[in-house]
Amino acid sequence: MVCCLRRSLYGLKQAPRAWFERFASVVTAASFSPSAYDPALFVHTSPRGRTLLLLYVDDMIITRDDSEYIAFVKARLRDQFLMTDLGPLRYFLGIDVSSTSDGFYISQEKYIQDLLARAALGDERTVETPMELNVKLQSTDGDPLPDPMRYRHLVGSLVYLAVTRPDISYLVHILSQFVSAPSTVHYSHLLRVFRYLRGTITHRLFFPRSSSLQLQCYSDATWASDPSDRRSFSAYCVFLGGSLIDWKTKKQTAVSHSSVEAELRDMALLTAEVT
């Protein structure tokens, strides 16, 4: 016997796809178009301005030039879905957002507080840097942890924190390489990151309201810095005017034969991202 469902049910693997298709049909009927760069971003353009709608599962952000059209969109969504309007954006997916006359600040202060509680450091010490200078971790360092699940959980949480904290991006990338078999040495360096976060919990990213639209890109690379495979690391950051909009740390896919080659690979990675 085969049952044909009249609507999607939670728990079925088809449910997310069915929900997104339903939502997309509603906003498309309201003259929105999906972005070519992100299918969860919908754009409406009219002579009165532009309206953007960003969807994450069943949470959404709407921003606009035309406030009247926002009210129209909300009314259309309420007709089709059970929806709660939470007002101006202050908190979204663990990210705090605050608005001033100069611009916007985003941070994850509450998220860091929850992480510190889960890490249970046992002291109140802070450090000025997330990692000691010239430290090169290897898989053979220290003794294996009896229960690696805690290490994996904390490192995974830091991966999401790096969304607003580019200062820990490199170290999170390093620590993520040892999640399969972490050791006591790796765990001690992980705890150092949390002590650094405790002392810098109020650090935020700032996006000024008045800023040029000129792209400024910076890149750097290490040469043969991984002692296990002698591969280099690439890192870059991209500014739109005075706003940091993109950054990344990544191990290069091939072994570079010189520091010049490592830098050229890094520049190629950044150029592809900017393009």
pLDDT digits (tens, 9 = 90+) for 1-11: 888 877 777 78
Strand-pair category, 41-46 with 33-34: antiparallel
Mean pLDDT in residue range 68-86 = 87
d(CA 231, CA 251): 7
In order, the DSSP letters of 58-103 are TEEEEEES-HHHHHHHHHHHHHHS------S--EETTEEEEE-SSE
- Asked if residues 193 and 158 have their Cβ atoms less than 8 Å apart, the reply is yes
Provide the pLDDT confidence category of residue 136 given band limits of 50, 70 and 90. Answer: confident
> Does the pLDDT value for residue 212 go beyond 80?
yes
> Does the pLDDT value for residue 209 go beyond 80?
yes
- Asked if residues 84 and 73 have their Cβ atoms less than 8 Å apart, the reply is no
Output DSSP code: residue 166. G
d(CA 231, CA 253): 8
pLDDT at 133: 84
- Asked if residues 87 and 79 have their Cβ atoms less than 8 Å apart, the reply is no
pLDDT at 161: 93
pLDDT in tens, 146-178: 989 999 999 999 999 999 999 999 999 999 999
Residue 5, helix vs strand vs coil: coil
pLDDT at 185: 93
- The domain spans of the chain are 15-87, 106-199, 211-274
d(CA 118, CA 108): 15
Residues contacting residue 64 through CB under 8 Å, at least 6 positions apart: 49, 50, 51, 52, 70
d(CA 40, CA 5): 25
In order, the DSSP letters of 232-247 are -EEEEEEEETTEEEEE
The distance from CA 43 to its chain's CA centroid, rounded to whole angstroms, is 22
Can you read off the two tokens belonging to residue 206?
Answer: 């700032």
- Which sign, positive or negative, has the C-alpha torsion 222, 223, 229, 234? positive
- CB atoms inside a 10 Å sphere around CB 248: 18
d(CA 119, CA 151): 10
Mean pLDDT in residue range 133-153 = 89
Provide the pLDDT confidence category of residue 262 given band limits of 50, 70 and 90. Answer: very high
pLDDT at 65: 78
> Does the pLDDT value for residue 46 go beyond 90?
no
d(CA 275, CA 263): 18
d(CA 271, CA 263): 12
Per-chain mean pLDDT for the chain = 90
Provide the pLDDT confidence category of residue 257 given band limits of 50, 70 and 90. Answer: very high
> Does the pLDDT value for residue 67 go beyond 80?
no
How far, CA to CA in Å, does 13 sit from each of 10, 38, 58?
8, 22, 16
